[in-house]
Every structure is written in C-alpha cells, then in structure tokens.
Amino acid sequence: MSKYFTNAQLVGSAEQGVMTGSLATSGDLIETVGGTEPQSKSDKIDCNGLLLAPGIVDLGVFVIDKPAFHFGGVTRAALMPDQSPVLDLPAMIKHNSAIGKPDLWSHPIAAATKSLAGKQLAEIGLMKDAGARVVSTGRQWIADSGLMFKLLQYCQSLDLPLIVHSEDANLVNGAVATSGETATRLGLASAPASAEALSIARDLTLVEETRAHVHFRQVTTERGLNLIRKAKSQGLPVTCGITPAHFLLSDIAISDFRTFARLSPPLRGEDDRQACIAAIADGTIDIISSGHDPRGPEDKRLPFAESEPGMAGAETLLALALNLVKDGMISIGRLFELLSANPARLLNVKAGSLTAGYEADLILVDPDAPWQVDTRKMAAAAGNTPFHGLPAQGRVKAIYKGGKAI
C-alpha cells in the first residue's frame, strides 16, 4: 500500500528548509521525498499547499494520552518512568511499549534506579533488551554523587542516553516556586533558580569523567544554559530540552495561586525566560517537548503547595512552538528538528524526519489556522493548561502513522 502526497510544502531539516514537491510512501516507510512523478497505483493525497512535516516525537510525557497526542500531531511519545508502579522492571517496559499501537508508538523510558528512589541501580540492561531506548532519573535528582557516577558508567557501557532532571533537591527542599517577588508576595516556599545550575554542574563533571550521553530534560535558567553551551563547545556528549511553558511564561503566571502553572521545574523569572529563547535560537537547546501531564481537580484544585506539578501540554505544543518561527527566532525546518528529528535521534529510531527509508510518520499542518486554548475543551485527559484563553495559530489537519491515516 503506497501513498503519494502532492502539492505539499515538505518540511526538511534546518539546512534543507521547506521544499515544494511530493512525498511517496511505501508500506510503513517513506519511499521518496521531492519526486514529481505520480505512481499509478498510489493513493494520491492533495495537500492543498499545507506543510507536510514529520510527526512530533514527544520526549518525556507522563501519560499516554492518545486524543491529546492526535490533536497535537504527536506520533511517538517517550513515557517517563514516573508511573505507578515505576517503570523499573523489564515487564513494565514491555507492557508499556504496546500501549497506543498501532496508531501511536510509545517508547517507555527505563527508570535509572529502583522505584526512582536514587538508592540502587535498576535492571537497566534487562530493560534495554525489553525495548527501553533511554534511561531516566524521572522527576527526581540523584543526590548521591557516587551512585550517579556508577549510573553514568553503566549507561555509557550499554550505549543508552540518560535523561536527567536538574534540580538540586537539597536546595529545593520542598520549595514549590522560584525565589523572587512573586513567591515572596504569595508566601510560597521557594528555592533559588541556581538549584538547576548546581545540579547541572555536578552532572557535567561526571559526564567529563564517564563520556556518557546525558540529556538534561528541561533546562530553564540562564546559568544552566550557559553551562550546557560551554559543555557542548568542549565536545561533551550532552543535549538538553525545554517545554513551551518555560520559554513563554515567567513566574508571574502563578499569581493568584494558579495551580495550572505549578510545574516541575517551577516557572522562572523573566530574565531566565529570555535566556531560554536565546538558547533555542542559538542551538543550545536541542529538543522541545510537551512534558504532557494531565491532572484532574483531585490533583490541581488544591492549595498551591499541595497541588501536583505538571501541565497538559501535548495539544498546545506545536501551536506554541510555532511562535518561535513567527517571531523569526528559528526556521520551520529547525523547529521540526527540535520537535521531531532530535528526539527521534535520542531514542535511536528511524523516524522524525522526511527521509527516504524512515518511518512514514507524517502530519499535515496549517501553520496559520487560528484557534483558542480553552481548558474546558481540551482533548487531553484533563485540561490543566496555564495557557487558557490564549489565541493560538497552527493546527494539525491530518496525521499518518506508518503511512496510515489516523
């Protein structure tokens, strides 16, 4: 079964940019990119001049939420190990790999330590054989530097990247906000933003020692980004990511105790937000993901400090990230490297890019279609978005997983 997408703007890499032409698939895979001759037996799909882009590979979601992913153009999602029970056994990896198939692929991330407690290594090798492609410390920081050192050695020897959460837990110590005027006015327990840089600095030192590939899941401060930038210039095998909330919102969003804006790491000050945008523009940040974590009223309709962190982000990911293109910070090709190609590379899957021989995970995008974010009308399992009411531009019009329309 083949398909032929014609009259499309094909979103290539940052170097290639947007190409006009057609794309042919054969079975699950992309067969040709940019060809012009329609194959006689193919299904011909007229794209009406819209963008045909690689499906989004959402790295580090907290739940497999198919309606939200399909709304947002996500064709693959890497599931965080912070589940109940924790993804720290091979059977858990196997079970969670099957969730969502065939129209959504889930890549469960192996917990680095048993129960994510940061005390003992989990069975990472067995989980790799069960299908895990990356390892993560989850939403926790491993305080024990000795254990972290051994973990990195181990991941390096197994050729698995390690995704880390960067907040020094001793400095954070129960804080629910970043120290600053907003937290002081609201009377919320807060920690200095440097808790992030502190933990990144230690982990970079251990990367230098072990040469393990570390991906810093969300880097949200100027100091943290400066450390990553320097490490990259020294050739260390590190990458980092961010969510739209951290480059679009500052801690002012938690005013009035808005628990939908309680995130982990917490929203930062305006200077740090600006630094995040600069780091996206200069290539320091490699991946933009949603951190999708739908939470119902039982977790969010609580006093701020008692609520759970996290936001439902999958369906707003593309529209919010498109702002970067509209503001001229990055090209559309670069945007899909951040959303699709780079996370796919980290997961070591042949997907996330319009390349012959890659998985035909495709989305048809109208980058100008207007809509409004509405917490009451979300496709996600819960509508906990801090972007309620925001006018957005950019909608997914069609989605294809492995060449098949969903």
Q: Counting contacts by CB under 8 A, is residue 270 touching another protein?
A: no
How many angstroms from the chain centroid is the CA of residue 14?
19
Cα gap 34→57, rounded to integer Å: 23
Region near another protein per CB under 8 A, out of 97-105, 208-216, 232-240, 296-304: 296-304
Question: Does 368 sit near another protein (CB under 8 A)?
Answer: no
Q: Which stretch binds another protein (CB under 8 A): 140-148, 177-185, 208-216, 380-388?
A: 177-185
CB of 254 to another protein, least distance (A): 10
Q: Using the rule CB under 8 A, give the single segment among 76-84, 183-191, 206-214, 311-319 that binds another protein.
A: 183-191
Quote the least distance from Cβ 311 to another protein, whole Å.
18
- The reply to whether 306 sits near another protein by the rule CB under 8 A is yes
Of 188, 319, 373, 380, the one binding another protein (CB under 8 A) is 188
How far is residue 194's CA from residue 221's CA, in Å, rounded to a whole number? 8
Please choose, from the candidates 85, 11, 92, 109, the residue with its C-alpha nearest in 3D space to the C-alpha of residue 55: 11
**Residue 184 within binding range of another protein, rule CB under 8 A:** yes
- Give residue for tokens 């057609």: 22
Q: Can residue 305 be called a binding residue for another protein (CB under 8 A)?
A: yes
Kindly state the number of chain residues that form the binding site for another protein, as judged by CB under 8 A: 22
Distance CA 386, CA 389 (A): 9
152 binds another protein (CB under 8 A): no
Q: Is residue 198 a contact residue for another protein (CB under 8 A)?
A: no
Among 97, 140, 166, 190, binds another protein (CB under 8 A): 190
Q: Report which secondary-structure segment, H or E, holds 245.
A: helix 244-248
Pick from 109, 106, 89: nearest CA to 98: 106
Give the nearest distance from C-beta 300 to another protein in angstroms.
11
Q: Which two three-digit tokens encode residue 266?
A: 């917490």
**Burial class for 297, CB neighbours closer than 10 Å (0-12, 13-18, 19+):** exposed
Shortest Cβ 298–another protein spacing (Å)? 7
Among 181, 271, 368, 374, binds another protein (CB under 8 A): 181
Contacts of 260 (CB under 8 A, 6+ apart): 300, 311, 375, 384, 385, 386, 388
Q: Percent helix, strand, coil in the chain (nearest 5)?
A: 35, 25, 40
Task: Please list every residue from 225 through 264 that binds another protein, using CB under 8 A.
Answer: 256-257
Interface contacts to another protein, rule CB under 8 A = 179-181, 183-190, 192, 256-257, 297-298, 301-306
